[in-house]
C-alpha cells in the first residue's frame, strides 16, 4: 500500500502485514520449510500467557490435520484429498441416517456449497490480490439475472405481472443448449468485472471498498427498478431447473438438492485445482507481490492494473457461476436476495465468511462459509436473537483470533513468529 | 504450556462435534396418538411480522378449539406449527422442502406474502401438499396453475380497482399521484390502481417503486424527496401501494410539508393500527381498501364468539386477517373432520368445498381463486386515529 | 503529507488541467441534460420545485456531514472503516428520545403542539447533550471492547472491518430485541426501549413556517438542524485546529509512531476520536429522529451508508472534506431525483462518487485530518 503512514494496527508500528499467501505448491523446498517451521513447538507467546492469548495462538484441530497433510508424500496426499472429496460427496446420501430432516439439511448443505463457492471466489480478490471488495454480491446477482433472462423466465414473469392471459405459453423449459447459459452468464460477469474494475482499480484499498459497495447497490437497485427487463421487485419465478440427457439417460435436477450439491462440489473441486495452479504460477506471485507492496511490484515490472483486473474478473466469474446455480436451484430470484447485509449471501456476509474462516487459504473460506450458513440455520429456534449472537460471535472471534479460524500458513507464521522477522524471512525465501 | 494447548484443542474439537451432533440428533417421536401437522408459513420475525401474527393467532385459535373438541370429534390431533420465512423468497425454499418431505405435514397455511408464495409454490405443488393463503394477493400467482394452491381471498385485481375507483369516482381530484414501495405487493397494487384511474378517465402521475425498503428489510424514514415530488405534481390525491409503517410516515411528512388537503389512499397493507398511530392527526381521512371486513363489527353470533375467544386467548382484539385465517383453519378442520387426512384428500375436499365462514363464503373456481361474487372489498377511513368501517365497495361507490 | 508523499513515490495523479477539464466536462454534461430535461418536461420547470429540492438536500446534507465526521476521524486515526458508526447514530437518537420523555416528561399526549420559549431552548440543549454523550459513550465502549484488543494484537484491517460489521449487527439487533419481551430463554423481560416497530419522537418543537423562498416554506426544524450542525461543525473545526487534544489527533493521524515518541498518548487520542465522532453522530441522531418523528433500531443503515459515501467523497480522513462531502451528497441526491424517480437516489449518489474518484482518487479535498 502506497502509504507512508504508520499503521496503528501493529503494536510495533509495522506497516500492514502482507496478507496471507497460500503458497499452494511453490517449490516443494519452501513448502517443507514452512511445514517444519509450523510443526515445531509453537513459539512462546511473547506478551503474556493468558488463556485468551493461548486461544489466539492455538492451532485448530483442522490446522493440525493440515500440517500432517502437508508432510505427506504426494501420492498419499492425493489419496487423502480424494477421500475428502468422496466424503463430502456422500454426505447427502448419509443425511437420512444422521438427521430427522434430511431434505432440510441437504438443502442447507447446498446453501453452504453456494456460499463456499462465493467465499472461494471472493478469496481470490481479497485474500490473494488484497483488494477490498464490498460489492461482491453484485456479480452473484449478475449471474443469476443473466441466467433468468436468457432462459426466458423473466419474459414469463413480466407477462405474469401484466396479467397476460397467454403468459403460461411463455413458461420456460430446459433444453440441452441451456447449459450454454451457464457460460453466457460467466461471460457477462467477466465483462461486468472488467467494466467495474478498469476505472476503479487504480483507487487505493478503502476507496475501492466504497466504490464496490456502491456498485453492489447500483446493481441491486437497477434490478429492482428495471421492471421491463427483470420484472423488478416482483422477482422472477419458474426459472427452469437443469436437466441432463446423455444418450438414453435423462435426468432432471428438479427439486433434488443433492444433485445441485454435487454440481457445486464438482465446480468447487475444479476451481480449487485451478486456483492452486494459478497461485503457484507467475500470476499468483504477481498477486502476492501486489498485495505486499504494490509500488515495488510495479517497479519490478508487474503490470499491476492488469493483474488486479484478472483477480477481479476471476472472482466475478466464480460468483456468477454460483449465481446461476442458485437461480436454477431456487427457481426464484428477486432483488432482495442481493442486499448488502442479506443474511445469506450479502456482500459483507461473504466477506465475513472469508475473514472468519481465514483468508488466503482454501480450507479457511470453506470453513467460514460452512459456519456462517450452518449456525444460523441450526439456531433458527432462537428467532430474531440469532443475529444478535451472530454479531457478537463475529466480534469475539475476531478479537480472539484476528487471523481467522484457519488462516493460511503464511499468515499464521507471521502472527506466531513476530511480524517483522517472518515477513523478511518469507520475502527472502520467495526471492521475487 | 504444550499440554494446555492440547487441552484447548480437544475442547474446541469436542465443542464442534457437540454442535454438529446436536444438529443431527433425531428427535424422538414418542406420541402413541395419531397426530397430523399443519404449518403456517409467514414472517414471524422481522419488520413485517405485525402483518402476519394476527392471522396466525386466528388460525391457532381455531386449531386449539378443534383439538379441544369444539367442532366435534376429530379422527386425529392437529398440531399447528410456525415456519418463519421472514417474508423472504430466499429463506422459504429449505423450510418448504423440510415440511414437504415430512409426511406428517398434511397442509400449509400461507405463505402470507406474494413473493414467498412464488418462491415456495413450486416446492409445495410438486410435493402435493395443499397450501392455502388468505393474504398473498398478487394476481399473477394464479397463472401458475398449481393444483395444490388455493387463495381464500380476493386478489389485487379486485382490491386495486376498488382503490382506483374510490379516487376517480368519489374523491375526483385534479390528478392522482400513484406511488408505491418496492414490494411485490405494493408495486402490483399501485399498477392496477394506475390502470383503473386512467380507465375511469382520471389523470395520473405515477412513480411506482419510489420507496426503497429492500423488500421489507429496511424501513426508510426520510420521504422528503417523494413529498417534494408530490408537491410539484400538484395532485390532490395520493395512492400509496405498500405497508403501514412507511405510509404513516409519508402521511406525516406530507402534512408537515403543507399538503394538508391531499388525501392518501392505500390498500390492506396500511389498514392497521400501526398506520393510524403513526400518522396521528395527519392521518385523518385516509382511506384504505381491504378484502377484510371488520370482524369486530359483525353481528353474527359466530363472529362475536370468535372476537370474544380471540381476545380472551391473546389479550388483544383481532387484527388484520385474523378472521380470514381463522376461516382457512376451519377449512382444514372441516376437511379432517370429514375423514380426509392425506394431502391429496384434503386438496380434493377443498376443490369442492362450499363453506360459509366468518368473513365470507368459500368456494373455489377452476383456478383455485374464490368465486368472484364471494369476494368483497371494503372501504375503511381513518377517523380519530382509528380505521372505521365505511362499507362494502360497490355500495359506497353507488352511493357516491 | 500523505498526498505529497504519494506524488513523490510516483503514484499517477492527474495534474490540475485534466481535473479542470474533467469537472468542466461534467458540469457541461449536467447543464445539457438539465436543459433538455426541462424542455421535454421530464424535469420540473418551476423554480419552487428546485428550491424545495435544494432545501431538502441541504437539510439532509448537514445531517450527513455530522455523521460523516465520525467515519472520517476514526479513519484518519486508525484507517478503520467503522461500519458500526451508523448504530452509534441510532443510539443517540434513542437517547435523545428518552431524554425528552423521561427527563422532561414531554409526550405527544401532553404537548401535542410542542413547547416554546426559553424552556424549549433548555430542553433542546439538554436533549442534544444527552444524545451526544450517549453516542460518545457508546462509541468509547465499543472501542474499548471490540477494537482495542484487536489493536493490541496487531490485527489486519479486514479483521477490524469484520469486527465493525459484527458490532453493527450486534447493536442494531440488541435494540431490536429490547422490546419488553423475554428473549434467548432468559427468565426476565428485556427492557422496553426500542423493539421491532418505530418509537414515536415527542414533538418538542412544532414545525412552524418561518419564512418562504420562492413560495417554498422553510420550517423551524430545518433551521434548527442547519444551525446546530453549523455550530457543531465550527466548534469541531476549532477543536481540531486549536486545542491540544486536536493537535494530538492530527499528529496521530499523520504519523502515530512519531506522535507516540513525542509523548502523545495514543490510546487517549483514539478514545478521544471515537468520543468526538460519537458526539456528532448522537446530536445528528436526535435531530434526525425529531425531524422524521421516530426512532427505530435500523434507522442508522441508510444515513450511515450515505455518510460513509460522503466522507469518501470529501476525502476520507479529512474533516472539512467530510463536511463538504456531506452537504454535496445531500444536494446531489435530492436535486438528482428531480428529473428521475426517488428510487434512483442511491444510484445517483454512487455514480457521482465514482465520477469524482475518477478525477480525484483521494476525494475532493484529499485525505488529511485538519486539512
**Which domains are assigned to chain B?**
35-154+297-369 (3.40.50.2300), 157-290+378-399 (3.40.50.2300)
Tell which residue, C263, C357, C271, C268, has the closest CA to residue C309.
C357
Tell which residue, B164, B364, B354, has the closest CA to residue B267.
B164
The single residue listed with the C-alpha cell 402413541 is B32
B118 contacts on A by Cβ (under 8 Å): 234-235, 237, 332
In Å, how far is B286's CA from the nearest CA of chain C?
A: 19
Q: Does A355 touch chain C (CB under 8 A)?
A: yes
Q: Which helix (H) or strand (E) holds B383?
A: strand B378-383
C153, C161, C166: residue with CB nearest A391:
C166
B191 contacts on A by Cβ (under 8 Å): 161
Q: Does B111 touch chain A (CB under 8 A)?
A: no
List all chains that touch chain C, counting a touch as 3 or more CB pairs closer than 8 Å.
Answer: A, B
C-alpha to C-alpha distance for C112 and C94, rounded to whole angstroms:
20
Q: Do A390 and C169 touch (CB under 8 A)?
A: yes
A47 contacts on C by Cβ (under 8 Å): 152
Query: B356-361: long-range contacts at Cβ-Cβ below 8 A with a sequence spacing of 24 or more?
Result: B357/B326, B357/B327, B357/B330, B357/B331, B358/B295, B358/B298, B358/B300, B358/B302, B358/B303, B358/B306, B358/B323, B358/B326, B358/B327, B359/B292, B359/B293, B359/B295, B359/B323, B359/B324, B359/B327, B360/B293, B360/B327
Q: Which three cell numbers stand for residue B152?
A: 381464500
In Å, how far is B225's CA from the nearest CA of chain A?
A: 17
In Å, how far is B280's CA from the nearest CA of chain A?
A: 29
In Å, how far is B326's CA from the nearest CA of chain C?
A: 25
Count of Cβ atoms closer than 10 Å to residue C261 Cβ: 10
Mutate to test the interface with B, among A233, A253, A347 (most CBs of B within 10 A): A233
Tell which residue, B88, B159, B42, B146, has the closest CA to residue A235.
B88
Tell which residue, C225, C217, C235, has the closest CA to residue C64.
C225
For the segment A276-317, what is each residue's pLDDT rounded down to a tens digit? 889 889 998 899 888 888 888 889 888 988 999 999 999 999
- Mean model confidence pLDDT for chain A: 78
Mutate to test the interface with C, among B206, B225, B385 (most CBs of C within 10 A): B225
DSSP C227: H
Tell which residue, A425, A408, A374, A375, has the closest CA to residue A59.
A408
Name every residue whose Cβ is closer than 8 Å to that of residue C36 and which is 6 or more positions away in sequence: C42
C-alpha to C-alpha distance for B389 and B212, rounded to whole angstroms:
30
CA A266 from chain center: how many Å?
Answer: 15
Say if residues C202 and C286 touch (Cβ distance below 8 Å): no
Q: Which three cell numbers stand for residue A118?
A: 462465493
Does residue C7 carry a pLDDT above 60?
no
C-alpha to C-alpha distance for C180 and C188, rounded to whole angstroms:
9
Q: Do A394 and C166 touch (CB under 8 A)?
A: yes
In angstroms, what CA-CA distances link C53 with A166, A196, C209, C220?
44, 31, 17, 17
B12, B98, B187: residue with CB nearest A101:
B98
Name every residue whose Cβ is closer than 8 Å to that of residue B198 and which is 6 or more positions away in sequence: B204
Lowest average pLDDT, out of B29-43, B134-148, C73-87, C181-195, goes to B29-43
Q: Do C347 and A217 touch (CB under 8 A)?
A: yes
In angstroms, what CA-CA distances link C256 with C261, C265, C273?
9, 10, 14
For the segment B335-351, what is each residue's pLDDT rounded down to a tens digit? 999 989 899 999 999 99
Say if residues B108 and B129 touch (Cβ distance below 8 Å): yes
pLDDT for C368 equals: 65
First to last CA, chain B: 87
Bridging pattern class, strands B378-383 and B287-290: antiparallel
Mutate to test the interface with B, among A52, A158, A163, A218 (most CBs of B within 10 A): A163
> CA nearest B195 in A: which residue?
A162
C-alpha to C-alpha distance for C362 and A101, rounded to whole angstroms:
53
C-alpha to C-alpha distance for B392 and B376, rounded to whole angstroms:
7
Mean pLDDT of C239-252: 90
- Mean model confidence pLDDT for chain B: 85
Q: Does A266 touch chain C (CB under 8 A)?
A: no
List all chains that touch chain A, counting a touch as 3 or more CB pairs closer than 8 Å.
Answer: B, C
Mean pLDDT of C318-325: 90
CA B214 from chain center: how many Å?
Answer: 18
Tell which residue, A72, A141, A139, has the closest CA to residue A336.
A141
Say if residues A235 and B89 touch (Cβ distance below 8 Å): yes
C-alpha to C-alpha distance for A259 and A109, rounded to whole angstroms:
11
For the segment C191-243, what is each residue's pLDDT rounded down to a tens digit? 888 887 788 888 888 888 888 888 888 889 999 999 999 999 999 999 998 99
Listing DSSP states for C250-272 in one string gives: HHHHH-HHHHHHTT--HHHHHHH
Q: Does A420 touch chain C (CB under 8 A)?
A: no
Q: Do C78 and A390 touch (CB under 8 A)?
A: no
Lowest average pLDDT, out of A85-99, B24-38, C136-150, C192-206, goes to B24-38
Q: Do B225 and C56 touch (CB under 8 A)?
A: yes
Q: Does A18 touch chain B (CB under 8 A)?
A: no
DSSP B339: T
Question: pLDDT-derived band of residue C8, with 50, 70 and 90 as boundaries?
Answer: very low
pLDDT for C5 equals: 45
Q: Do A398 and C10 touch (CB under 8 A)?
A: no
Listing DSSP states for B129-148 in one string gives: --EEESS---GGGGGG--TT
Q: Do A384 and C11 touch (CB under 8 A)?
A: no
Most confident of A132-141, A356-365, C336-345: A132-141
C-alpha to C-alpha distance for C345 and B210, rounded to whole angstroms:
10
List the domain boundaries for chain C: 2-9+52-181+195-359
In Å, how far is A266's CA from the nearest CA of chain B?
A: 22
Q: Does A210 touch chain B (CB under 8 A)?
A: no
A205 contacts on C by Cβ (under 8 Å): 157
The single residue listed with the C-alpha cell 493460511 is A408
Bridging pattern class, strands B105-109 and B35-42: parallel
Does residue A374 carry a pLDDT above 50?
yes
> CA nearest A412 in C: which residue?
C155
Does residue B328 carry a pLDDT above 80?
yes
> From its phi and psi, is residue A342 left (phi > 0), alpha (psi between -120 and 50) or beta?
beta
What CATH fold (topology level) applies to the domain C2-9+52-181+195-359? ABC transporter involved in vitamin B12 uptake, BtuC (1.10.3470)
Q: Does B44 touch chain A (CB under 8 A)?
A: yes
Q: What b/e readout covers B220-231, taking b as 16+ CB neighbours within 10 angstroms?
A: bbbbbbbbbbbb
Name every residue whose Cβ is closer than 8 Å to that of residue C101 and which is 6 or more positions away in sequence: C107, C202
Lowest average pLDDT, out of A52-66, A73-87, C287-301, goes to A52-66
Its ipTM equals 0.85
Higher pLDDT, B348 or A43: B348
Mutate to test the interface with B, among A332, A342, A375 (most CBs of B within 10 A): A332
Q: Does B278 touch chain C (CB under 8 A)?
A: yes
Higher pLDDT, B22 or A418: B22
C-alpha to C-alpha distance for B153 and B144, rounded to whole angstroms:
17
Q: Return phi, psi of residue A352, to 5°.
A: -60, -40
Say if residues B65 and B74 touch (Cβ distance below 8 Å): no
Does residue C359 carry a pLDDT above 90?
no
Tell which residue, A413, A411, A389, has the closest CA to residue A123.
A411
In Å, how far is A112's CA from the nearest CA of chain B?
A: 12
Name every residue whose Cβ is closer than 8 Å to that of residue A299 and which is 6 or more positions away in sequence: none
Q: Does A254 touch chain B (CB under 8 A)?
A: yes
Does residue C6 carry a pLDDT above 50?
no
Say if residues C207 and C221 touch (Cβ distance below 8 Å): yes
C-alpha to C-alpha distance for C358 and C352, rounded to whole angstroms:
10
For the segment B185-216, what is each residue's pLDDT rounded down to a tens digit? 888 889 899 999 999 988 888 888 888 876 66
Does residue A414 carry a pLDDT above 70?
no
C-alpha to C-alpha distance for B69 and B218, rounded to whole angstroms:
43
Q: Which three cell numbers stand for residue A27?
A: 517449490
Mean pLDDT of A235-249: 86
Q: Return phi, psi of residue B46, to 5°.
A: 95, 175
C-alpha to C-alpha distance for C266 and C272, rounded to whole angstroms:
10
First to last CA, chain C: 10
Burial class (CB in 10 A: 0-12, 13-18, 19+), B201: exposed
C56, C207, C301: residue with CB nearest B224:
C56
Q: Does B47 touch chain C (CB under 8 A)?
A: yes
Q: Do C154 and A14 touch (CB under 8 A)?
A: yes
Q: Do C52 and B231 touch (CB under 8 A)?
A: yes
Q: What angle do CA A245, A247, A253 make, to 5 degrees?
A: 20
Q: Do B249 and C292 touch (CB under 8 A)?
A: yes
Bridging pattern class, strands B237-241 and B176-181: parallel
C302 contacts on B by Cβ (under 8 Å): 218, 220, 222
Amino acid at each position: 500500500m502506497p502509504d507512508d503512514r504508520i499503521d496503528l494496527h501493529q503494536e510495533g508500528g509495522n506497516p500492514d502485514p502482507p496478507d496471507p499467501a497460500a503458497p499452494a505448491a511453490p517449490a516443494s523446498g519452501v513448502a517443507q520449510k514452512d511445514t517444519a517451521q509450523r510443526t515445531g513447538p509453537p513459539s512462546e507467546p511473547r506478551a503474556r500467557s493468558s488463556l485468551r492469548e493461548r486461544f489466539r495462538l492455538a492451532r485448530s484441530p483442522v490446522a493440525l490435520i493440515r500440517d500432517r497433510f502437508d508432510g505427506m508424500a504426494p501420492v498419499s496426499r492425493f489419496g487423502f484429498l480424494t477421500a475428502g472429496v468422496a466424503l463430502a460427496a456422500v454426505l447427502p446420501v448419509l443425511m437420512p441416517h444422521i438427521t430427522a430432516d434430511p431434505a432440510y439439511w441437504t438443502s442447507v448443505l447446498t446453501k453452504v456449497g453456494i456460499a463456499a463457492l462465493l467465499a472461494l471466489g471472493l478469496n481470490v480478490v481479497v485474500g490473494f490480490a488484497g483488494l477490498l471488495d464490498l460489492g461482491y454480491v453484485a456479480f452473484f446477482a449478475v449471474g443469476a439475472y443473466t441466467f433468468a433472462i436468457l432462459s426466458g423466465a423473466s419474459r414469463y414473469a413480466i407477462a405474469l405481472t401484466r396479467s397476460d392471459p397467454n403468459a403460461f405459453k411463455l413458461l420456460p423449459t430446459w433444453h440441452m443448449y441451456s447449459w450454454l447459459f451457464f457460460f453466457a452468464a460467466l461471460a457477462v460477469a467477466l465483462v461486468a468485472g472488467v467494466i467495474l474494475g478498469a476505472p476503479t482499480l487504480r483507487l487505493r484499498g478503502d476507496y475501492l471498498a466504497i466504490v464496490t459497495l456502491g456498485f453492489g447497490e447500483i446493481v441491486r437497485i437497477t434490478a429492482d427498478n428495471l421492471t421491463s427487463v427483470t420484472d423488478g421487485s416482483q422477482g422472477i419465478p419458474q426459472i427452469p431447473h437443469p436437466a441432463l440427457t446423455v444418450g438414453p439417460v435423462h435426468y432432471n435436477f428438479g427439486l433434488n438438492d443433492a444433485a445441485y450439491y454435487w454440481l457445486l462440489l464438482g465446480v468447487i473441486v475444479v476451481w480449487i485445482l485451478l486456483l492452486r495452479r494459478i497461485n503457484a504460477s507467475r500470476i499468483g506471485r504477481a498477486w502476492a507481490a501486489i498485495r505486499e507492496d504494490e509500488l515495488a511490484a510495479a517497479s519490478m515490472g508487474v503490470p499491476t492494473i492488469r493483474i488486479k483486473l484478472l483477480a477481479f474478473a476471476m472472482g466475478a466469474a466464480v460468483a456468477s457461476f454460483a449465481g446461476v446455480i442458485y437461480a436454477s436451484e431456487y427457481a426464484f430470484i428477486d432483488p432482495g436476495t442481493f442486499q448488502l447485509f442479506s443474511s445469506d449471501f450479502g456482500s459483507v456476509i461473504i466477506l465475513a465468511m472469508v475473514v472468519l474462516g481465514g483468508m488466503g487459504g482454501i480450507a479457511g473460506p470453506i470453513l467460514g462459509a460452512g459456519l456462517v450458513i450452518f449456525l444460523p440455520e441450526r439456531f433458527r429456534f432462537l428467532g430474531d436473537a440469532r443475529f444478535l449472537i451472530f454479531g457478537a460471535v463475529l466480534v469475539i472471534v475476531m478479537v480472539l483470533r484476528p487471523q481467522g479460524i484457519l488462516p493460511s500458513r503464511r499468515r499464521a507464521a507471521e502472527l506466531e513468529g513476530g511480524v517483522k522477522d517472518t515477513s523478511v524471512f518469507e520475502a527472502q525465501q520467495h526471492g521475487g | 504450556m504444550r499440554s494446555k494447548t492440547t487441552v484447548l484443542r480437544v475442547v474446541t474439537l469436542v465443542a464442534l462435534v457437540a454442535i454438529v451432533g446436536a444438529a443431527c440428533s433425531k428427535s424422538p417421536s414418542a406420541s402413541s396418538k395419531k397426530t397430523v401437522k399443519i404449518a403456517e408459513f409467514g414472517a414471524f420475525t422481522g419488520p413485517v411480522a405485525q402483518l402476519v401474527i394476527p392471522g396466525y393467532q386466528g388460525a391457532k385459535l381455531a386449531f386449539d378449539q378443534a383439538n379441544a373438541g369444539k367442532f366435534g370429534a376429530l379422527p386425529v390431533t392437529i398440531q399447528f406449527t410456525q415456519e418463519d420465512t421472514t417474508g423472504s423468497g430466499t429463506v422459504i425454499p429449505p423450510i418448504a422442502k423440510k415440511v414437504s418431505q415430512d409426511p406428517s405435514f398434511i397442509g400449509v397455511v400461507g405463505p402470507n406474502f406474494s413473493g414467498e408464495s412464488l418462491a415456495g409454490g413450486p416446492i409445495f405443488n410438486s410435493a402435493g401438499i395443499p397450501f392455502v393463503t388468505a393474504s398473498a394477493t398478487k394476481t399473477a400467482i394464479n397463472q401458475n396453475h398449481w393444483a395444490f394452491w388455493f387463495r381464500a381471498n380476493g386478489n389485487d385485481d379486485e382490491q386495486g380497482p376498488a382503490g382506483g375507483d374510490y379516487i376517480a369516482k368519489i374523491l375526483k381530484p385534479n390528478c392522482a399521484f400513484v406511488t408505491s414501495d418496492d414490494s411485490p405487493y405494493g408495486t402490483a397494487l399501485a399498477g392496477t390502481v394506475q390502470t383503473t384511474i386512467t380507465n375511469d378517465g382520471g389523470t395520473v402521475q405515477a412513480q411506482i417503486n419510489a420507496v426503497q425498503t429492500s423488500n421489507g428489510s429496511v424501513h426508510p424514514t426520510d420521504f422528503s424527496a417523494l413529498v417534494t415530488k408530490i408537491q410539484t405534481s400538484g395532485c390532490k390525491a395520493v395512492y400509496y401501494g405498500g405497508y403501514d409503517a412507511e405510509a404513516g410516515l409519508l402521511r406525516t411528512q406530507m402534512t408537515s410539508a403543507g399538503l394538508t388537503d391531499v388525501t392518501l389512499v392505500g390498500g390492506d397493507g396500511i389498514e392497521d393500527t400501526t398506520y393510524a398511530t403513526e400518522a396521528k392527526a395527519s392521518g385523518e381521512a385516509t382511506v384504505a381498501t381491504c378484502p377484510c371486513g371488520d370482524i369486530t363489527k359483525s353481528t353474527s353470533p359466530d363472529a362475536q364468539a370468535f372476537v370474544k375467544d380471540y381476545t380472551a386467548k391473546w389479550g388483544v382484539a383481532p387484527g388484520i386477517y385474523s378472521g380470514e385465517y381463522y376461516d382457512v383453519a376451519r377449512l382444514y378442520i372441516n376437511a379432517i373432520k370429514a375423514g380426509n387426512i392425506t394431502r391429496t384428500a384434503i386438496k380434493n375436499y377443498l376443490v369442492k368445498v362450499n363453506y360459509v365462514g366468518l368473513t365470507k363464503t368459500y368456494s373455489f373456481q377452476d383456478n383455485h381463486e374464490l368465486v368472484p361474487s364471494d369476494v368483497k372489498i371494503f372501504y375503511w377511513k381513518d377517523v380519530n386515529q382509528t380505521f372505521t368501517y365505511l362499507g362494502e365497495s360497490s355500495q359506497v361507490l353507488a352511493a357516491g | 503529507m500523505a498526498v505529497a508523499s504519494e506524488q513523490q513515490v510516483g503514484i499517477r495523479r492527474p495534474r490540475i488541467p485534466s481535473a479542470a477539464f474533467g469537472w468542466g466536462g461534467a458540469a457541461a454534461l449536467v447543464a445539457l441534460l438539465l436543459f433538455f430535461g426541462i424542455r421535454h418536461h421530464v424535469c420540473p420547470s418551476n423554480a419552487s420545485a428546485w428550491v424545495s429540492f435544494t432545501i431538502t438536500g441541504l437539510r439532509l446534507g448537514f445531517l450527513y456531514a455530522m455523521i460523516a465526521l465520525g467515519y472520517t476521524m476514526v479513519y484518519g486515526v486508525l484507517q478503520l472503516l467503522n461500519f458500526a458508526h451508523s448504530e452509534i447514530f441510532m443510539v443517540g437518537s434513542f437517547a435523545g428520545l428518552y431524554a425528552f420523555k423521561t427527563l422532561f416528561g414531554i409526550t405527544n399526549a401532553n404537548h401535542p403542539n410542542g413547547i416554546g420559549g426559553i424552556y424549549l431552548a433548555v430542553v433542546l440543549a439538554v436533549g442534544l447533550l444527552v444524545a451526544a454523550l450517549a453516542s460518545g459513550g457508546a462509541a468509547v465502549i465499543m472501542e474499548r471492547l471490540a477494537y482495542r484488543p484487536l489493536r493490541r494484537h496487531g490485527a489486519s484491517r479486514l479483521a477490524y472491518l469484520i469486527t465493525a460489521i459484527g458490532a453493527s449487527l450486534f447493536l442494531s439487533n440488541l435494540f431490536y430485541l429490547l422490546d419488553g419481551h423475554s428473549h434467548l430463554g432468559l427468565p426476565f423481560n428485556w427492557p422496553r426501549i426500542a423493539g421491532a416497530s418505530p418509537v414515536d419522537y415527542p414533538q418538542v418543537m412544532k414545525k412552524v413556517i418561518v419564512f418562504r423562498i420562492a413560495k417554498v416554506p422553510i420550517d423551524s426544524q430545518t433551521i434548527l438542524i442547519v444551525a446546530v450542525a453549523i455550530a457543531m461543525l465550527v466548534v469541531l473545526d476549532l477543536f481540531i485546529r486549536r486545542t491540544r487534544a486536536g493537535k494530538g489527533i492530527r499528529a496521530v493521524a499523520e504519523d502515530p509512531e512519531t506522535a507516540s515518541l513525542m509523548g502523545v498518548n495514543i490510546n487517549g487520542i483514539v478514545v478521544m476520536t471515537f468520543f468526538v465522532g460519537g458526539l456528532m453522530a448522537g446530536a445528528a441522531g436526535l435531530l434526525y429522529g425529531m425531524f422524521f418523528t421516530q426512532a427505530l433500531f435500523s434507522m442508522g443503515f441508510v444515513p450511515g451508508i450515505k455518510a460513509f459515501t460522503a466522507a469518501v467523497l470529501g476525502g476520507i480522513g479529512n474533516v472539512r472534506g467530510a463536511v463538504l462531502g456531506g452537504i454535496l451528497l445531500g444536494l446531489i441526491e435530492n436535486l438528482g431525483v428531480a428529473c428521475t424517480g426517488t428510487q434512483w437516489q442511491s444510484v445517483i449518489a454512487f455514480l457521482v462518487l465514482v465520477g469524482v474518484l475518477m478525477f480525484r482518487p483521494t476525494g475532493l479535498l484529499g485525505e488529511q485530518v485538519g486539512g
